[in-house]
Amino acid sequence: MPREPIKLPQRVESLSVLAADGRIDADLEPALDPADLRRLYRTMLASRRLDERALALQRQGRLGTYGPSRGQEAASLGVAYALGKDDWLVPTFRETAGLLWRGWPMQTWLLYWGGFEAGNVPPAGVHDLPIAVPIASQCQYGMGVAWGCKLRGEGRVCATFCGDGGTSEGDFHEALNFAGVYNLPLVTVIQNNHWAISIPRSRQTASQTLAQKALAYGMDGVQVDGNDILAMIVATREAVEKARTGGGPTLIEAVTYRMSMHTTADDPKKYRTEDEVKAWEPRDPLLRFRAYLHKKGLLDESTAGALDAEIAAEIDQAVRQYEQYRQDPAEFLRHMYAELTPELQAQQAELQAYLERKHAPTPAPVP
Amino acid sequence: MFDFKLPDLGEGVHEGQIVHVLVKEGDALAEYQPMLEIETDKAAVEIPSPKAGTVAKIHVQAGQTVKVGHVLITIDDSAVGVGPPPKAAVQPAAAPTAAPARPAATVLTSSAVAPPPVRAAAPPVPPSAPPAKDGPVPAAPAVRKLARERGVDISAVPGSGPGGRILREDVERFSAGEQVARTATAGPVLPPAGGELPDFSQYGPVRREPVPQIRKTIARQMTRAWLNVPRVTHGDVADVTDLERNRQNFNAALEPGQAKLTITAIVTKAVAVALRDFPVLNCSFDAATEEVVYKDYVHLGIAVDTPRGLVVPVLRDADKKSLPQIAADLHAIAEKARTVKFEIADLRGATFSITNVGALGGKFFTPMVNFPEVGILGLGRAKLEPAVYEGHVVPRMMLPLALSFDHRVVDGAVAARFVSAVIRSLENPLRLISLA
Ligand SMILES: Cc1ncc(C[n+]2csc(CCOP(=O)(O)OP(=O)(O)O)c2C)c(N)n1
Ligand SMILES: [Mg+2]
């Protein structure tokens, strides 16, 4: 018997519940509370509108460099929904929808993109790490958090995110390897949006799927239609349940698409065709979810209109609060060391002297 | 009124080109309505209006390149009651102690300060003084380190980066410039006086004209020379009778297209060679370090009268060139100077200068040392004069020479010897030939 296929105990599946054309797999459709469905839709819509607003604010010079999440809302939101309140979420910078679901206020999120330290502080009772930009660093943080959960034996789970580009980082592999060996309660979600800045998915790895990378680390992998909020919920629920009951880690590949530019400092026209973007438009997660709710009778034109106005007002309010926010300019010096080093003390004194010369108003942090 | 300025559109982007202006003056403008399309070297982006109102003024047009901070559109937002209130007007209810809206700089600059009274003459500011700065100097640690290594005071370096940030190149340029400045401009440099002129119109009609750049440069340079150089002029006369005869013969026999030998060319050659033996006249004095900077090259500044004013182009390596070559080069650079085809580089780097007013007349004068050089030789008009020659009074062709020198480094005796050496060459054409 010299040559035969190796049977692996782990599986790699693909999952889709709500097709792009509106057909639904009744066997897989999760039974969700109608109130939850409406809240999910509201959050997805709010995320989309906030994303659009942030882009405009950046173009007006009112916000820093910004990375839009248009088109990826379901992949983030479905995961956040499937987590329990006491579970952990470790976001990349495209987790707007998920963070809103978890309870992050819009103005905090704006403060993050405005470059304020306060944008990194999760609201009370929310077990999330701040947005992290270094690619695949989230995998390591998430793995560490999951390990902590396991050591504490509280039955809590951690979900962590990275991009398709992130799977080429050492951090991704180290984290998955560790999570596999220690059987950690970790759900790693790859937001495969098909691009890592200008590098297409096809140049990222020769693997047919990203989900199959799970096999190398001894865990299950599942490739999910990431623009299908229902499929994302189903897949994450299963993974979270397994993790909570000692079944170990799972790798989820959410197949989605970055509808916008990489960040406001990027012009995707330089490396991808308009046709490619157009082809993804009918698969927009917001449109699909809206159609689903219409069919179910949970959303009509008038409620949709009221929702739009409500969200616009909410965003206006958040932008106002964001723009009124004042931070002690020396704040940025305070978070690296428990005690300021002599160099930092000198810098703080220099800054203080400068501000005094400038007659700067005394800073009053706004909660 | 709200001036919308080009914001920082992306990492490392300092400017953009206006592709389209999407609104017209007088248009009503909704908040977030697209106003402009701008292309940076990273992306083409649409700029949405930050305010509701009307378009009061458009300051740009398609095709124009604008820098971050450039006012693009003025929006009249006075008549609009809806939309988010202006930033500074709102105090957060939750935090009554909150300070005025950021950015602090806006608050400070918008406070009512009367414009400074218009003054007839600006207070003198040394041109080399760095712009006044207060507060932390914007420079990265690596740039600060470079400045420390070069012994450069970073607060004096003008920054060319975004927001005035000091870049590595700025420090390098500054430190190079400072070395030049130390050798070249040590000593007082005062701006030309001009603040306290009487009102001439009380004596009769007058008219004021701004002077062209070249006149400003001449004025600055002359003032600097006058203030920095303790000048002495040494005068002598060369008997160029034989030289002139030879010169005329030589020119008469020229092939067509060959440059005529001029007195200036011959003197240039004689001076260039003499400078090799008198390095102290081919140096600069660094008053700051009290050092003499000897130059191992001989580049001669040749004063040329042009319709626009005095220009002194440089004939490089004059000591290494043959007489016909010098004649040809002099012809070329003078032509270039008169037709304004020269570049600044053509006017830099002289080690000693020659000025010939002979064509216009004049016998003896005191040339101005072209600081930071230390010597200049002036030629008057060569003409036949009664001279005692071999015991008889005879008409001889006499060329007056006036050497001005910087007495800080050149003593009178050295100057006299130098002029004698030049005269020996001029009076002895064979010697000149042997130098070529
Ligand atoms: C460690 C690290 N290297 C490089 C970068 C710069 N960078 C920011 S986003 C990005 C591409 C990420 O692609 P992907 O993982 O697919 O995430 P996406 O941007 O598509 O969400 C890169 C290279 C970074 N943030 N961190
Ligand atoms: Mg990607």
Delimit the domains of chain B by residue range. 2-112, 229-434
CA distance B353 to B401: 13
Asked if B275 contacts B319 with a C-beta cutoff of 8 angstroms, the reply is yes
Give one word for B290, left, alpha or beta, with left for phi > 0 and alpha for psi -120 to 50. left
Q: Do A261 and B94 touch (CB under 8 A)?
A: no
Among A107, A105, A167, which Cα is nearest to A135's? A167
Under 8 Å CB pairs connecting chains A and B tally to: 88
Evaluate the CA torsion angle A98, A104, A110, A114 in order and state its sign.
Answer: negative
Query: Over the stretch A107-118, which tens digit does the pLDDT of each residue have?
Result: 999 999 999 989
Q: Which long-range contacts (CB under 8 A, 24 or more apart) does B130-133 make?
A: B130/B155, B130/B156, B130/B157, B130/B158, B131/B158
Q: How far is B6 from chain A (nearest CA, A)?
A: 8
pLDDT bracket for residue A245 (50, 70, 90): very high
Please tell me whether the peptide bond between A282 and the residue prior to it is cis, using omega within 30 degrees of 0.
no
Buried b (16+ CB within 10 A) or exposed e, B204-235: eeeeeeeeeeeeeebeeeebbbeebbebbbbb
Would you kindly state where each structural domain of chain A is located, as residue ranges? 12-324, 329-362
What residues form DSSP beta bridges with B401? B236, B379
Query: Per DSSP, which regions of B185-241 are E strands?
Result: 231-239
B42 interaction partners in chain A (CB closer than 8 Å)? 265-267
Interval between CA A209 and ligand 1 midpoint (Å): 19
Q: Which residue of A has its CA nearest to B96?
A: A364
| Range of lowest pLDDT (A145-149, B32-36, B103-107, B320-324) | B103-107
Counting atoms of ligand 1 from 1, which one is nearest the CA of A72?
21
Residue B118 has pLDDT above 90, yes or no: no
CATH architecture of B229-434: 2-Layer Sandwich (3.30)
Among A46, A21, A95, A94, which Cα is nearest to A315's? A46
Cβ–Cβ contacts within 10 Å for residue B157, how many?
24
CA max distance for chain A: 84
Query: Over the stretch A268-300, which tens digit does the pLDDT of each residue have?
Result: 988 999 999 999 999 999 999 999 999 999 998
Query: Over the stretch B418-436, which tens digit does the pLDDT of each residue have?
Result: 999 999 999 987 887 776 5
Query: Over the stretch B4-14, which tens digit does the pLDDT of each residue have?
Result: 999 887 777 78
The tally of CA atoms less than 13 A away on the side-chain side of residue B204 is: 0
Q: How far is A276 from chain B (nearest CA, A)?
A: 19
Q: Do B7 and A61 touch (CB under 8 A)?
A: yes
Q: Which residues of B touch A (CB under 8 A)?
A: 4-13, 32, 42-50, 84-85, 87, 90-92, 94-95, 97-102, 104, 107-108, 134-136
A351 interaction partners in chain B (CB closer than 8 Å)? 136
Cβ–Cβ contacts within 10 Å for residue B121, how many?
11
Q: Report how far apart, in Å, the C-alpha atoms of B429 and of each of A19, A56, A139, B107, B320 are.
A: 104, 82, 90, 78, 18
**First vs last Cα of chain B: how many Å apart?**
75
Asked if B397 contacts B381 with a C-beta cutoff of 8 angstroms, the reply is no
Asked if B354 contacts B264 with a C-beta cutoff of 8 angstroms, the reply is yes
pLDDT bracket for residue B46 (50, 70, 90): confident
Mean pLDDT score, B335-345: 76
Three-class DSSP category at B404: strand
Residue A248 in contact with ligand 1 by CB distance below 6 A: no
CATH number attached to the domain at B2-112: 2.40.50.100
Residue B181 has pLDDT above 60, yes or no: no
Among A125, A138, A127, A37, which Cα is nearest to A94's? A138
Reduced 3-state DSSP string for B2-42: EEEECCCCCCCCCEEEEEEECCCCCCEECCCCEEEEEECCC
What residues form DSSP beta bridges with B48? B34
In CATH terms, the fold of domain A12-324 is Rossmann fold (3.40.50)
Give one word for B170, left, alpha or beta, with left for phi > 0 and alpha for psi -120 to 50. alpha
Q: How far is A360 from chain B (nearest CA, A)?
A: 6
